[in-house]
Structure 1
Amino acid sequence: MASSEPNTARSPPLLDFSVFYSEDLAAKKKLVDQVRDCCLHNGFFQIINHPVPVELQQKVMQWNKRFFDLPLEVKKSVGKDLNTWNRGYELLRSQILEEGTLPELKEGFYIGEEIPKTHPYHVNKKLNSGPNAWPSEELLAEVEDFKTTCMSYYHAVVSLAKDILKVLALTLDLDESYFGRFSDGAVATMRLLHYPPTEKGDGEEKLRRGIGAHTDFGAVTVLMQDEVDGLQVWDKDVQQWFDVMPVPGAFVVNLGNLMMRWSNDRYISNLHRVINRSGKERYSIPVFFSGNPDYVIDCLPNCKAEDEQAKYPPITVEEAVGGSYRESYGRAEKWKESQKKQGIEKAVGATAGNPVAVA
């Protein structure tokens, strides 16, 4: 029987990423071998000694917390429902990634590359591309520092993600530059996230998630956690959830569905979730690297025999990632509609003389 209780015994390993930039070929080969093992096992690993400055990590996390401490009216002034390209503030309970659970107990703020409405990606509605949504200076006096910090961090992590893809190419016995065309003109999305503590004693606690069990949609995700735990990774070998405990300065890296499809299921895009049982506020910042939206994902060399059929037909990044995104938000909208319908039915029952319990 599968256990739902997490532990840390098989938490993703910490890897020293600095050797990727060194001249020590033996150490670099060891890193590549370690990453390959992680990709074959559950698609998760953690990296330390990377190029993103600790000071920048700390500053953007401070802004993460400051943003969500703003009054709701200020956050809603940059709500992502005010545009059609998914930039800005996302209310609590806006998404359901795990079917059968309640809308997720998280609020977010979406950021991406700052591009004008005249850019071809925006004109052609490529993967939620467009200008970012920032609070006005009247509502947030230090908004320029908020913008500068977020964009500096975004570009630093996107650059790191491209280096991680170089390592992944080497794990597949490909040239280090193999994913270059995929990375050119890439779309990546950053989310500032805030998870209130999971509500307890309401009869529905087992169905509450900060983020429900899911796999990521893109190629790779690079995540920074604060000091509060809650992230859990599923281990298929032992049928158990394992905690990914926060490590100061480290990034959690995981493969997404694109990489799993691209490698013909050789590599794993693994289930993970967040349940904040700590009693504290949890904050994190993932950067989802999707790639060039027009790039066609087809089976990688060395991932199938010459006479073997690929498991998946070719598909563009736009088609693959966009479809998954719409599905997850559609679940939350269906749930809200069902709740509204139930409320109407209860109200009709009450007016017909049937007693209705009021919570």
Structure 2
Amino acid sequence: MGSLERQSKLPPILDFSAFRGENEVAKAEFLRALGQACRDKGFFQLTNHGIDPDLQRRIFAASKELFDLPLEEKLKAKLMPGTSGRGYETIGGQMLEPGSAPDTKEAIYLGEDLPADHPRVLKGEYGCGSNIYPSCLGPQWHETCMEYFQAMDTLARDVMRALAAALNIPEDYFDRFTDAEPTATLRLVHYPPTPTTSEKERGCGAHRDFGCITLLLQDRVGGLQVQDEETGEFLDVEPVPGAYVVNLGNLMARWTNHHYTSNTHRVMNRSPTGRYSVPFFYSGNAKYTLETIPGLEQRPQQAVARKYGPAIPSEPYGPVSVAEFLRDQFVQSYKRADDYRPKTVGATA
């Protein structure tokens, strides 16, 4: 593959100020490029997004402070079935790619910090609860994470309006999905140095994201790879300082009846240094019922066949709530890691 052809297959770098500005010609060109990226790749990089570089610096510092702690401290905040999807995930805790080994990453899940007596918590809504993190980090650490969470929530809502406009539906179409209390997760992730790995080992296994959109802030180490799903080749996404890698998840692909696509990607940290990334997973109102957007009932069969093959049913999707859809996808990824462990122990006993 030549350099120009390879470049054309990578996520484009888009200037968000064109969407927010007054220049209608620039906005129209932005939306054309955005729509093309969402149909072909499900990925793009976003610059001039309005997030304070100092806040980005502080969230990376908070991430490093967490992962530098001794393991026994991090395990005090371990992600467990009863922690509402909050807490510390150990290396090997998740397995996103069937047939590989569990992911060689550690992470923490954070969200809107809700007390035990909050109505959403009392109702048992998916992903609702108090944040769990090592107490030795102190309140300032948590405040930085929540400041970043709120900034990402605002940016995600703006991105959703752009995605609607690029679909040629009203710009406010997704507002009912985004205006209610959101299902959103902030994740701080650390990939230890793995300059040589086995064939099955991944920092993060090949997968499509579960939810609606992901806003990823990555450091300069690199390692994120997006698959060219026509050839199967994984292409490196070079970090752009301060930019967000934005990708669409399975929820958005389903909702748009695959007019927009989610794409397979992975992380291979073959650097001699650790890699830090900060993804923000946004999926809007957990109670929202997903049904095909009017006007998108005719599925683009050629694109679906090329990217997904027989995995996509030919019949129209039935309605499903956001919470039900996400819970099923989340549970399956952790079940794979649990199923893998007994085989590993048995093989080495």
Instruction: Return the TM-score normalized by structure 1.
Output: 0.88
Displacement after TM superposition at 1:220 (Å): 0.3
Report the counterpart of residue 335 of structure 1 in structure 2: 340
Q: Contact between 1:199 and 1:205, CA under 8 Å: does it hold in 2?
A: no
Residue range with higher mean Cα deviation, 58-67 or 120-129: 120-129
Report the counterpart of residue 197 of structure 1 in structure 2: 193
CA distance in 2, matches of 1:106, 1:9: 30
Is 1:277 aligned to 2:270, yes or no?
Answer: yes
CA distance in 2, matches of 1:177, 1:156: 20
Displacement after TM superposition at 1:81 (Å): 2.4
3-state SS of 1:28 partner: helix
CA distance in 2, matches of 1:82, 1:45: 34
Written as runs of structure 1 = structure 2, the 5 A alignment for 1:271-350 is 271-305=264-298, 311-343=316-348, 346=349
Displacement after TM superposition at 1:48 (Å): 0.4
Q: Contact between 2:195 and 2:272, CA under 8 Å: does it hold in 1?
A: no
The aligned amino acid for 1:340 is V
CA distance in 2, matches of 1:8, 1:277: 22
Q: Contact between 2:83 and 2:129, CA under 8 Å: does it hold in 1?
A: no
Q: Contact between 1:8 and 1:243, CA under 8 Å: does it hold in 2?
A: no
Displacement after TM superposition at 1:341 (Å): 3.7
Q: Contact between 2:195 and 2:271, CA under 8 Å: does it hold in 1?
A: no
Aligned residues: 331
1:245-294 Cα offsets, whole Å, 9 max, x none, are 11111000000001100111111100000010112100000000011111
Q: Contact between 1:11 and 1:245, CA under 8 Å: does it hold in 2?
A: no
The aligned amino acid for 1:147 is H
Q: Contact between 2:286 and 2:322, CA under 8 Å: does it hold in 1?
A: yes
CA distance in 2, matches of 1:122, 1:275: 37
The aligned amino acid for 1:320 is F
Report the counterpart of residue 356 of structure 1 in structure 2: none
3-state SS of 1:334 partner: helix
Structure 1 segments of 4+ aligned residues over 6 angstroms from their partners? none
Displacement after TM superposition at 1:125 (Å): 2.8
For structure 1, the residue ranges without an aligned partner over 5 or more in a row are: 347-359
Residue range with higher mean Cα deviation, 297-306 or 256-265: 297-306
Is 1:232 aligned to 2:228, yes or no?
Answer: no
Greater Rg, structure 1 or structure 2?
1
Q: Contact between 1:16 and 1:48, CA under 8 Å: does it hold in 2?
A: yes
Written as runs of structure 1 = structure 2, the 5 A alignment for 1:4-23 is 10-23=9-22
3-state SS of 1:206 partner: coil
Aligned-residue CA RMSD (Å): 2.0
**Aligned match for 1:153, one of 148, 172, 188:** 148
Is 1:32 aligned to 2:31, yes or no?
Answer: yes
3-state SS of 2:93 partner: coil
CA distance in 1, matches of 2:131, 2:192: 25
Q: Contact between 2:88 and 2:133, CA under 8 Å: does it hold in 1?
A: no
- How many percent of aligned residue pairs carry the same amino acid? 42
Is 1:251 aligned to 2:254, yes or no?
Answer: no
CA distance in 2, matches of 1:10, 1:172: 21
The aligned amino acid for 2:88 is Y
CA distance in 2, matches of 1:215, 1:295: 21
**Structure 1 pair 181/195, CA: closer, same or farther in 2 (3 Å)?**
same
1:120-174 Cα offsets, whole Å, 9 max, x none, are 33223322210101322xx23xx22211111111110111011000001101111
Q: Contact between 2:194 and 2:270, CA under 8 Å: does it hold in 1?
A: yes
**Structure 1 pair 248/31, CA: closer, same or farther in 2 (3 Å)?**
same
Q: Contact between 1:218 and 1:321, CA under 8 Å: does it hold in 2?
A: yes
Written as runs of structure 1 = structure 2, the 5 A alignment for 1:157-176 is 157-176=152-171
Q: Contact between 1:8 and 1:244, CA under 8 Å: does it hold in 2?
A: no
1:42-61 Cα offsets, whole Å, 9 max, x none, are 10000000111111011101
The aligned amino acid for 2:248 is L
The aligned amino acid for 2:320 is I
The aligned amino acid for 1:169 is A
CA distance in 1, matches of 2:204, 2:267: 5
Written as runs of structure 1 = structure 2, the 5 A alignment for 1:113-124 is 113-124=112-123
1:170-206 Cα offsets, whole Å, 9 max, x none, are 0111111111111121110011000012263xxx611
CA distance in 1, matches of 2:19, 2:52: 17
Displacement after TM superposition at 1:8 (Å): 5.9
